[in-house]
Amino acid sequence: MATARVRSPRFRALEYFCLLYDVAVDQEDYNGPWCSITGEALRDLDLDDLVKIDSTLCDDTSVAPWEREHFSVDPSLHVPDGLSGIRIAFHEPHGDTERRLLKSVVLEPLQQDPRIEGCGEDPVVDGLWTKLLVAKVERALLQKRSSTAAAAALDQVGLALVREAPVPERRDTTALAGQLRILRWLFLNEASACYHGHHSIALADDCLNHIKDEVGEGVSPHELVALYNKAQGSLHDRDHIDALGRFRQVSEYLNGDSDSDQYFCQLALNPYAWPDCRRLFDTYLRVPSVVQAADTLLNLQRSTDSERELGKLKGLQLTQYQQARVDVMQARIANDLGGARLEKPTPEWRDSACGRKRGIALQSLGVEAERHGLQVTKLAMRISAEPTTTGGESCPA
């Protein structure tokens, strides 16, 4: 059914772009130069003027800077051709600019009919891509906003995506149907990433089932994304044992064994493959899976096992943000295990680039606060253990 022409270079470039965008959002890079999100309406969550994605990132000249600056990974990461010149523009807002209900603000851009200009694909496919990208931008903005209301609005984005997801004919073997299938997987994965808990698991499961039915297992790397989302859903659902198993499954798939060769072989062998993208998936899925598995183990009070899990990152190239997360977890492990580990100085989070990102800053400050509290108690115990000193004696040192 599937042939190489299912995924034109432009189509693959957009898939690739989605992956990069997800990496950026996961690392709290909400407004990098490679993906300029203009407008400063965050405060009022007015998205109308906000969603302009100028994806000049894939001009040959702009690839290296963002890699070095934002990802710190090996520049040998392969970027497919075909993204240059894509320009995504959205319709201007209708009417009033007054504050509206969050729900309508979030859903409206998806309900409009925005178009990617210059994509050169079928209009239906263009429209779906645009909606997907709008949803991604919305997710980024809502995650950046990170208020309780924003989290609720994320569910709305997920719901809208499920409604907008294409449903290709099962027996249709045309290239268009093939593209729609892949877009469906992308929509379901994005919806799964927007939702929390059991909804997220259900959507990821749905995606996995579709992939299995349509192209089989072990063919498309999108199933790894679905598996990762499912693990995240389990984590949000506090089903740590399941989450741990799934995170480990993802990282083991990608650990360089032949199991994953199918995902990254040439298109001639597997039209759904991502040739030469193993390194990208290391950054996108493998490292986060190991880190999340270690985090899950920490939640289960298994500090030594968590430390061992982090050992699996040896030899992998971590981005600055990922390294900061690992450092935070090492500090948490030290807090849990105590002893001499507590004597190690905590990293100076605030001075690093990652220290200026809200999520990692909150995590690190939480760990740091715990460390200081433990130290005060420990020192108080040491003072108590000293013989009582009065006026003429020296103070306990």
Partner 1 sequence: MSCVDQAVDELQRLGTTLEQRLVWVGEDRSELDQTILDWVKGLSACADLLEATTRKCKHAACVDMAAAAIVRYLNLELPEELVWASIQSLKDAALDLCIDESNREHKVEIRRLLSENLEHLLEEGRACDGLEEVNAFALRLAEGLCGLGGDEGIPRFVREHWCEWKDLLAGGQLPLGGPIAALEPPLASRALRRFLQRAFLKPSASELPAHQRLSPGELAAKCETCEDFQCMLADGSSGAVLSDDCVVARSLAVNNAGLITQPPDGPLHHYYDAVIGRNERLLTERLYKQRRHSETGWRFCVLQRWNSYTPALGTSEGGGYFLYRVPEAHDEGTSTGETIDAGIVIDPGYGFLRNFFSQGFGVRDVSGVIVTHDHPDHLVDFEPLVNLLLEAQKNRVGGGQSAGSRKVDALLSGGAFERLNASIETTRIVFRDTFVRTPGKDGFKDPVAFHDVDGKPIDAALNVEAMLAIHKDASELPQRHGYDSIGVLIEVSVPGETARIAIPSDTQWSNEVAAQYLKLGSYADVICLHLGAMAKKSKFGVFEYYSTEKTGRDVVHKGWHLYLPGILWFIEAAADVVRTSGDGRAVLVVLSEFGEEMSHGLRADLANRLNRHMQESAGAGSPLVVVAPGDVGLVIDPIARKIKCSCCGDYYSWEMPFRFEVFGDCEQIFYVCAECDSILADDEKRGIFRQRQAPLMRPVTA
Give the footprint of partner 1 on this chain (CB under 8 A).
Answer: 145-149, 238, 240-241, 299-305, 308, 336-339, 350, 358, 361-362, 365-366, 368-370, 372-384, 386-391, 395-397
Complex with partner 1: residue 214 or 368, whichever CB lies closer = 368
Complex with partner 1: residue 258 or 390, whichever CB lies closer = 390
- Nearest partner of 321 among 72, 149, 55, judged by Cα: 72
Distance of closest approach, residue 29 Cβ to partner 1, in angstroms: 17
Distance of closest approach, residue 317 Cβ to partner 1, in angstroms: 25
- Nearest partner of 68 among 81, 80, 60, 77, judged by Cα: 77
Distances (CA, A) of 381 to 16, 370, 373, 378: 56, 17, 13, 5
- Nearest partner of 102 among 142, 137, 153, judged by Cα: 153
Distance of closest approach, residue 312 Cβ to partner 1, in angstroms: 11
Distance of closest approach, residue 152 Cβ to partner 1, in angstroms: 12
Complex with partner 1: residue 95 or 339, whichever CB lies closer = 339
Q: Are 54 and 88 in contact (CB under 8 A)?
A: yes
One-letter amino acid for residue 184 of the chain: R
CA distance 76 to 73: 8
Complex with partner 1: residue 163 or 308, whichever CB lies closer = 308
Quote the tokens at residue 205. 């499961």
CA distance 37 to 49: 9
Distance of closest approach, residue 132 Cβ to partner 1, in angstroms: 27
Complex with partner 1: residue 216 or 373, whichever CB lies closer = 373
Distance of closest approach, residue 286 Cβ to partner 1, in angstroms: 18
Q: Tokens 């899976």 correspond to what residue?
A: 289
Complex with partner 1: residue 155 or 368, whichever CB lies closer = 368
